[in-house]
Structure 1
């Protein structure tokens, strides 16, 4: 097959490309330039948008002996990921930019271009297992549960998955680093990326304030309605947040307060006790269902990229997914994705995903 290897400049994508070469595929490496001003990002940033990352990807391609290109997707990334991120926070929701990037950049914009150029698949260094059963692709958790990235890939459609390759799904991270060293790849010891790539200093609140400005509002006790303080924008908060609320006086019972709800129209941030964060039901929209299922289905629901799982019963009704949690989850925020898994011996199978609209 002709394979386009997306090479971020990290160890995972380099080893994934190496495995595609070793499997006998005709491989071409490509690095996505996602920042309009890559020189402004901090040197050595643990992201995937710096000039240094592009150089690392090129060196890895040279070692593998494959052609290498840099494709400028900065404008598309700004529109589909950064502007969406800002708009979601302004609306009082909590987005996942990595999920959005996979959906709109790596497996829509990049894949569309790859297919148009005659490539059969896009190869990435994501930790997830992918197989084809009865002609349909099935996405499962990685063998390395600690690195599993099936959650941020769960919004991919069946057609996108048919053109995807995840060579690292059967491997744990330590083995990947050892293999990189054996292959002579200089990124073998490169740290993993942890930051949102377009917020390299990690100051999400500051990033949003620069773009949205100050939108004054009130911090209100959810139980009594008492005004506890003021803030400069609901975009500085997310459901489940405890620190940085700006409330001087402790609660009457001495327990900490958490963000319970955001009301962007009125600018109100409602806070209260931890037990009020417990969610037993979720209504989600814009479902993506790569595996067909009907009626209520027993599954495991996950609401965050790492953690936030509970046994559940889910039902697909029109363009909504109704999820009843058998165990309550805390800090479930509108805008997040809920991903549904069916445990099996081959690894937890992704049944589908949807965007959380409301909770109960």
Structure 2
């Protein structure tokens, strides 16, 4: 196959490309330039897609003996990922920019351009496993290294784009093995630190980034009864479940910590309350994508709402017009914010994904029959 290998400049993508070459594919390397500021440099292990990373990607391609190109996708990145990030926070929601990057950049803009140029697939260094199940549906599974698993942020791509994706690191048991393999192949990035935080917020100060872009918007911090407890400089600087940095100068009457329960963009208020008030009984999703036939009956499965969060038992069913309803029977799910990605699993298999539109508080519900997807 003709394979376009996305080379970020890190060790994972370099080893993934090396494995694609070793498998006999005709591989071309490409680095996505996502920053409009071409002078931006990486700081420690923060960020990605800088000039330094482009140089590391080029050296990896040279070692592998494959052609190498840099594609400027900065305008698309600014207009989709960053614009979505800002508008979602402005609307009182909590987006995951890595999910949106996979949706709009890596498996949309990059993949579409690759297909237009005659490539059969895009290869990345993500930790996940792709395949086909017994019924012919594209199959997305967790990686062998659960600590590095990235199926959560990949679920948004959907089955059609998954069929054009390759994840050569999905079966690797540990990141240490990837680094050892890179060193053995003579790749200079073998000891390069992992990137973390939000790539376009290189200093890690998300609130500062939002303040610079959205400006000062003073408002009130209130409890569930509407009592004013304090003031804020921008509701966009808070997220559901947040405990620290609330700016409240007096404790709750019972002395217990307060948490952000909701953000009201119209009134510009932040509502706080107790930890128990964060318990979620139901999640309503929108823009659902499925890797199985959309289940119209209640289906027992697991729900994950954060990239590195634990999955909790739930039941779920598809709703009309791309909707999804997920119900929880106990208080193990807390602090779910609109805008987060809700990913459903059975075992290590991804069933589907949706964006959280709303939640409902935990309350008793009658049991009803549920089915298992096979």
Band the TM-score falls in, shorter-chain normalisation: over 0.9
Unaligned runs of 5+ in 1: none
Q: Which runs of 4+ in 1 moved over 6 A?
A: none
Structure 1 residue 38 displacement after superposition: 3.0
Give the aligned CA root-mean-square deviation in angstroms: 1.0
In structure 2, the partner of 1:168 is: 169
Q: What is the aligned partner in structure 2 of residue 196 from structure 1?
A: 198
Deviations 1:184-242 (A, max 9, x none): 111111111112010011111110111111111100011x4210111111100000001
How many angstroms apart in 2 are the aligned matches of 1:190 and 1:255? 43
146-155 or 324-333: which moved more?
324-333
State the shift of 1:265 in Å: 0.5
Q: Give the aligned length.
A: 355
The aligned counterpart of 2:329 is: 326
Moved more, 319-328 or 17-26: 319-328
Structure 1 residues 41-84: Cα deviation after superposition (integer angstroms, max 9, x where no partner): 44445322211000000000000000000000000000110011
Per-residue deviation, 1:135: 3.0
CA distance in 2, matches of 1:56, 1:221: 50
Contact 2:43 2:202 in 1 (8 A): no
Q: Is 1:314 the counterpart of 2:294 in the alignment?
A: no
3-state secondary structure, aligned to 1:338: strand
- C-alpha distance in 2, partners of 1:46/1:65? 28
The aligned residue for residue 86 of structure 1 is 86
C-alpha distance in structure 2 between counterparts of 1:42 and 1:170, whole Å: 29
Checking the alignment, whether the CA contact within 8 Å between 1:310 and 1:327 is kept in structure 2 is no
**Alpha carbons of 1:195 and 1:38: their partners in 2 closer, same or farther (altered >3 Å)?**
farther
How far apart are the structure 1 equivalents of 2:127 and 2:305?
A: 18
CA distance in 1 between counterparts of 2:10 and 2:312 reads 32
Partner of 1:259: 260
**Which whole-Å CA distance do the structure 2 matches of 1:41 and 1:179 have between them?**
27
Q: Answer with 256-265 or 133-142: which moved more.
A: 133-142
Residue 107 of structure 2 aligns with which residue? 107
Partner of 1:357: 357
Secondary structure of residue in 2 paired with 1:146: helix
Q: Which runs of 5+ in 2 are unaligned?
A: 361-374
Q: Secondary structure at the match of 1:40?
A: coil
Deviation at 1:255, TM superposition (A): 1.0
* TM-score of the two chains, using structure 1 as the length reference: 0.97
Q: TM-score, normalised by structure 2?
A: 0.93
Q: Deviations over 1:236-285 (max 9, x none)?
A: 00000011111111111111110000000000100011111111110000
Measured in 2, the distance between the counterparts of 1:148 and 1:45 equals 19
Partner Cα separation in structure 1 for residue 46 and residue 191 of structure 2: 12
Deviation per residue, 1:272-327 (Å, 9 max, x gap): 11111111110000000121142111100000001142100000011210000133
Q: Distance in 2 between matches of 1:45 and 1:192?
A: 6
Q: 1:310·1:326 contact (CA, 8 Å) conserved in 2?
A: no
| Corresponding residue to 1:342 among 339, 343, 346 | 346
For residues 7 and 335 of structure 2, the distance between their equivalents in structure 1, rounded to whole angstroms, comes to 34
Distance 2:311 2:256 in 1: 26
Tell me what 1:139 maps to. Answer: 140
Deviations 1:120-165 (A, max 9, x none): 0000000001112243210000111110000000011211011000
Matches within 5 A, 1:231-242: 231-242=232-243
Which secondary structure does the structure 2 equivalent of 1:77 belong to? Answer: helix
